[in-house]
Amino acid sequence: MNQISFDLSLLQTMLAEAQRASQLTPTYDDLWNPACYPGGELLDESGQTEGEVVLSGGEFWPDWQHIVQDKIKPQLILMAEGIYGIYIINNVGGDVSPIERGMICFAKGFNPDTHPQQLKQQERMFGKDGHAFVVPLEWLETAANVGKKSLVIDVSDTECELSLD
């Protein structure tokens, strides 16, 4: 497994912003979480359930616009996106991007502005298509409770795990 690390203090600030936000953006996990939809059932763009779509011969894809806003929880998302590096953002919604708000935390050594040569290493870790992973919030608390200054994550091509080494 490879390790990537993030500034724990910045992540805690980003989480606090998300916890105060009046608007949160659903994550990919929320998109596929029935608990986020009215009646507890995924809905497509026309408001049909998966069963209804499949019975009519269509292909189902849930639509975020049917998600109940107050079912969305504050989250941090680890992203590995091609030329954009490896970073964590929160799911605060609105017109101002995470970068413009200063709410982006690059993995140490994986900011493409300062370490463009790391793209090949990033590809080896996450593949060419990249990766998105919701970071369990208890990882921040666990790392802080043992006195860590960084959130260190072990990564393989199929999983991410908290490292306290």
Q: Where are the domains of the chain?
A: 2-25+72-163, 29-69
Q: What's the CA gap between 84 and 68, in Å, rounded?
A: 30
pLDDT of residue 99: 84
Report the alpha-carbon distance of residue 151 to residue 144 in Å, rounded: 9
For the chain, list residues with pLDDT below 50. Answer: none
Of all helices (H) and strands (E), which one includes residue 89?
Answer: strand 86-90
**What's the number of CA atoms in the CB half-sphere (13 Å) around residue 154?**
6
Measured in residues, the chain has a length of 165
Rounded to an integer, what is the distance from CA 115 to the centroid of its chain? 22
Cβ atoms 89, 104 nearer than 8 A: yes
Q: Does domain 2-25+72-163 have CATH number 1.10.530?
A: no
The whole-model pTM stands at: 0.87
Q: Which two tokens stand for residue 14?
A: 């980003």
Give me the chain's average pLDDT, please.
Answer: 91
